[in-house]
Amino acid sequence: DQQVKQNSPSLSVQEGRISILNCDYTNSMFDYFLWYKKYPAEGPTFLISISSIKDKNEDGRFTVFLNKSAKHLSLHIVPSQPGDSAVYFCAASDYNQFYFGTGTSLTVIP
């Protein structure tokens, strides 16, 4: 049973525009959320995280929003750049284990 879901397998965005990647989860015990970015032939790299006590965390062009009532988080990338083209995984933790979504492949078109 997939506790963390990324329902959009792929997303294409023009360079300079906003990219919004979405993630839904089912377990209300999750209290820590992360986004990872993965290039082909490389392992995922940590991008940004948010604790359940917050609803927004910003780091440069990347902002993560958390809506606990909807069990939904999103990653906003503004402005999008061609180098952002990668697969993005969201992950959630209940302190015991991390659960990953299936990933969204982002393509930023120059």
Which stretch, 55-63, 65-73, 75-83, 99-107, contacts other proteins (CB under 8 A)? 99-107
52, 57, 102, 107: which one contacts other proteins (CB under 8 A)?
Answer: 102
Shortest CB 21 distance to other proteins, Å: 14
Spatial contact of 104 and 20, defined as CB atoms under 8 Å apart: no
Asked if residue 79 has a cis previous peptide bond (ω within 30° of 0), the answer is yes
∠ CA 98-78-26, rounded to 5°: 30
Which stretch, 21-29, 32-40, 52-60, 63-71, contacts other proteins (CB under 8 A)? 32-40
62: contact with other proteins by CB under 8 A = no
| CA separation, residue 59 to residues 28, 48, 51, 65, 103 (Å) | 25, 7, 14, 12, 21
Catalog residues that contact other proteins under the rule CB under 8 A.
Answer: 6, 9, 32, 34, 36, 41-46, 49, 89, 91, 93, 95-103
